[in-house]
Amino acid sequence: MDFKQEKEPDVQKPILIAAMQDMGNVGSIVINFINDSLRTKTFRISKTPFPTYVVDRGGYIDLPDESWEYRFTEDLIIFGGGKGQPQNTSELNELCQDVIDVAKKYSAKFIYTLGGFHTNRPLENNPKTYITTTSRELTKQMEELGVDITPQKSIITGFNGLILGFAKKNGIHGIGMYGELNEPEIPQYRASISIIKTLEKLTYRKFGDISRLEILAQEIERKFKS
């Protein structure tokens, strides 16, 4: 991975929210929403040096722009969003470690990550967000706040799970939030809305007007019902 520091963010002991595209595009939807709503500014860019795929434009190919940004605002650092995530394990590990290094450099208090939680339970446009944490003690604190805890043992793959392992290994508190979804191939705006509400509850801050996500959710629902 290649990393480029463009400026020093004006943050003090920030919360760090880090997630990448996953099933239902949940990670990207939430990260992109926060960046747009809070008008965050880029201060660091990570880029994979070799493409993991090419795009056929119909007779000729383009190389994808596989890069991800660190952005900041008001003692908040946001990482990820965009399209995809590294397919190479060593690159994924290197990227997770860079997020941890950034967290340490700016004395981040917490790392939050998020993604999709695949379930067969009928959701009726009202998915839950389940959380897991880096310690039993932290999970007990979350239970006291009335949030839903992941209901069973499972393996969480990709960046949106692995970053919690890196956080725990480096002594940083971490919380993963995973919104229920039935169809991983379809953009899941309802799951994203549920996660944003949970994130606002846990951080005691607002991340923006979710009405536009509601509109997008309704458009997707109409499209696939028809």
- pLDDT tens digits for 52-91? 778 899 999 998 878 999 999 989 999 999 888 887 899 9
Nearest to 106 by CA among 81, 64, 75: 75
- pLDDT value for 68: 94
- pLDDT tens digits for 173-189? 999 999 999 999 999 99
Q: What percent of the chain clears pLDDT 90, i.e. is strictly above it?
A: 77
Helix (H) or strand (E) holding 24: none
- pLDDT tens digits for 135-153? 999 999 999 999 999 988 8
More confident of the two residues 109 and 100 = 100
- pLDDT tens digits for 2-25? 999 999 999 999 999 999 999 999
What average pLDDT is seen over the chain?
A: 93
pLDDT at 31 > cutoff 90:
yes
- pLDDT value for 121: 87
- pLDDT value for 221: 86
End-to-end Cα distance, the chain: 43
Q: What percent of the chain clears pLDDT 70, i.e. is strictly above it?
A: 100
- pLDDT value for 166: 97
- pLDDT value for 226: 56
Rounded to 5 degrees, what are φ and ψ at 126? -140, 65
Strand segments (E) across 119-193 = 129-133, 148-149, 174-181
Range of the domain at 142: 2-225
- pLDDT value for 151: 87
Characterize 93-128 residue by residue with b for buried, 16 or more Cβ atoms within 10 angstroms of its Cβ, and e for exposed: bebbebbbebbeebebebbbbbbbbebeeebeeebb
Nearest to 192 by CA among 109, 81, 91: 81
Number of domains within the chain: 1
CATH number of the domain that 135 lies in?
Answer: 3.40.50.10900
Do residues 20 and 84 touch, judged by C-beta distance below 8 A? yes
Q: Write down the pTM of the prediction.
A: 0.92
Do residues 29 and 116 touch, judged by C-beta distance below 8 A? no
